[in-house]
Chain A
């Protein structure tokens, strides 16, 4: 789909608004008194309704209108926000999403059912205080006859207003008789066919308050001529005038509501861009930086001072541009964590558990693609924690824990990795049962002694589930292996720590793939390689006596510590004479220190990681490639894998 399709634009915008709406509703469930939240809920609904009808999603607009009205009443203090109302609103939000995404297959009955619940939720609270009583009467009983005369601004059609829809909406409020007013239609020679010259006179019998009629015109109210007059009240003579009077102090004027409604558009300040375009941009910037470094070389040889200063200027701009572009792909993980609040909320309901979700480190930034791929694994892990980890409130109280269970989602950067942990304070993993299950499946020998982490890794085997009952949520043994597979594809790893009775912590370690890393550029023979700087501990010179011994014992003595080393020349089968003074880059890998012997340490290098194609991804020694300043390609070493390969080779060599 091209970017100019307005329907697509609406879908994306609505998507964003709905996400925002969900967050606010969840916040509201906790802080029902927070008027700012109510306002932002109302605004989101209002915008969805408005742009929905603008883009022809009439069902969306119609449905949203009712929800919006309910929140309008909350906003005006006529109705109290109850958990029930928040729940219905969440359901309504899902329904709106369904209407937008699958307009053809979404059943209208579902919507009607939600509206019924909505009415019940609004009605039950309205009966409460005296202040709320009057509007409720107005809702139910204040049938009145109104006369609505309006002329739309002449350019209304050009701005996307469809008068027929407005009239339809008026008809939706009650019995309406529509008469066109033709007195302003100019003579034929003066008539601009693109303008509206017709006004309408609608006589409307409705039980809705005046504000409902005004709402119909909310988007055009500023520029149009309109007169809404009460002709007569029909069966609740006192109620209607009173309605107008009573809520007045709390009511925001319709004129004020408009700029507010527009606020989220400007305020959110984000644009949706296809990821592909960002990739293209990144490539262009990469080329620019390379071209710039060539320019720099030419400038260095020149004596023209002005030329040099321009070159420096361009260097600064190019580097800034590169940094900005790289930053664009990174999004805070809050986006991902936010989605789970709803999941936890729903699961807590479904299972009758009381669960608090705590999130930490939401501003940790990760590449957008990684974030998207993490969604499913995290859903599985959270479901598992809630379903199997956390006990019911009774069990928790019996175990001396607070009735409310806790799920903690945390993210942080450590070196070139991002750690994401899911911690619950539930009953912990059942060692004995996992062992029994693993033996039953033939995954381990009966009676095998395994460390906790080894044993817990078994739950990621396909088809492995210790849940005795299969619930709706988990226990079918699918899921955990999917988690593992996704993590593998992202070159990440999973650790599990668990204490019986106190809870489980699952930690995902993810590399910052596609991101920038600081690298150390080294040379081995003619080839240049990048070592992730976060893994580098120090660089030392290879002692001459070691350099001479090609196949001897490969250990270095660094400050009385024995450090094994690998000769990259051997590992890469490099031809040609080694440099006279070889260097050792000491890297840390899985808690041990290993030296990598290289010909030359060139220096640090800001590295844009480009992934390798399938033709080379299988090698494993390299995590990707990057493009150097002179335009050549350098490979990025995957330290853990490289060291593991070296370890396999070393013993063999000793044996031969």
Chain B
């Protein structure tokens, strides 16, 4: 497998705090790659650096062979790399269908392209994806009126609407009840296998990430501690000491 996302020596400091120190890792095309680590170890900061939320202090990031280190958030999103947020972000005062319609990237982002009513094709695709995420009956409700778990599913559906090539998911199962988690994992795996979308996932739920991911990166204190297959990570003494705990 070729590497779709390659991070080389990326560092990010906030004042005196080193959030990411010379991190190098790669995400293979079509894989499910996990990222774990204790709170404050720099996982979300690394996501923010990748998607252009803030400038990095050093290192480089390439996506599908293209240098994206200095690009901004919308530009990177338009390349097909979409992130979802730890604290779910949806458009609360719009209906689910409207949330989906504005996420459709098929017609481009130019002013003239936007000055058209929502097409029937967009509507059909929105309905299909909402159905896939189990939100079809709620499609005319305001997104802000959905429960937290449903909002997460909506955000996931919106990300799929863009037809992304890679999804960066920041704790997709956090705050969701156990029943919904199983459904979500199933959907994540189907999206990866059927649509070939690469998933790069931050996750604290070990059961979830160990079962899903083909390879896992573990961060601690802003540094890359270990990388490898789930079993290697599980048995790595450094990871056990820093994160998993010795029991």
Partners in one complex: no
Chain B interface (Cβ within 8 Å of chain A)?
none
